[in-house]
Amino acid sequence: MPERGGGRAALHVVHGRQGYDLDAAERAVADLLVAMGKDPSDPHLADTPRRVAASYAELLTPREFNLTTFPNDEGYDELVLATSIPVQSLCEHHMLPFHGIAHVGYLPDQRILGLSKLARVVELFARDLQVQERLTKQVADWLQDKLAPKGVGVVIEAEHLCMSLRGVQAGGSRTVTSALQGSLRDDPQTRQEFFALTNTGR
């Protein structure tokens, strides 16, 4: 990133994952319907393979964006926090959704970030086959690496349908994960402030 006073800077972010094969996914869904004793040629199911394949493509493909930063000329040195960012992902163990909210904050150093980009970074890693613990750490690590702030904090609260619809069927239960970097991890006062502002009270 440019040094202080270097003006606006934008890093074009692409997900860099292998391409999604819609045709292969559609064939796989048709095979799955047959395995479940269903007839893919049934008028009610005829378009289901295409719809399911397209749905997974959308859920697994993050949008490209520019990570826009600006010089911190005013020397702002307090937390910047975006709360209740919607998050949706797919459990890699059962391919069922988990969904909830993310709280993402950082303590600026020489650069500040366009606020909408915090939600974009969450989406970048959420649109994948995931586990919540990894997702939380990926967001924190990526922001620490690309923005170089004094610290980063991420909390995700989510309900997992693989837990609420099957297995123990614990509907309404929420899993909370956190990842901290820099001063948000090492400074007890800053850490406490972050959790107080996110109402997660750790």
Q: If we measure between CA atoms, which residue out of 158, 100, 98, 165 comes closest to residue 128?
A: 98
Please report, to the nearest 10 degrees, the dihedral formed by the alpha carbons of residues 124, 129, 130, 136 taken in order.
0
Catalytic residue among 93, 99, 133, 192: 93
**Please, what is the end-to-end C-alpha distance for the chain in angstroms?**
32
Catalytic residue among 26, 110, 160, 181: 160
pLDDT bin (cut points 50, 70, 90) of residue 16 is low
Q: What angle do CA 72, 147, 179 make, to 5 degrees?
A: 120
Instruction: Identify whether 92 is a catalytic site residue.
Output: yes
Catalytic residue among 15, 88, 159, 162: 162
Query: How far apart, in whole angstroms, are the C-alpha atoms of residue 107 and residue 149?
Result: 6
Render pLDDT for 122-162 as a digit per residue (tens, 0 to 9). 999 999 999 999 999 999 999 999 999 999 999 999 999 98
DSSP conformational letter for 8: -
Render pLDDT for 156-184 as a digit per residue (tens, 0 to 9). 999 999 888 887 777 778 999 999 999 99
Give the Cβ contact number of residue 174 at 10 Å.
Answer: 15
User: Is 105's pLDDT higher than 60?
Assistant: yes
pTM of the entire predicted model: 0.89
Give residues with Cβ within 8 angstroms of 31, minimum separation 6: none
Give the Cβ contact number of residue 100 at 10 Å.
Answer: 19
Instruction: Identify whether 160 is a catalytic site residue.
Output: yes
Averaged confidence pLDDT in the chain = 91
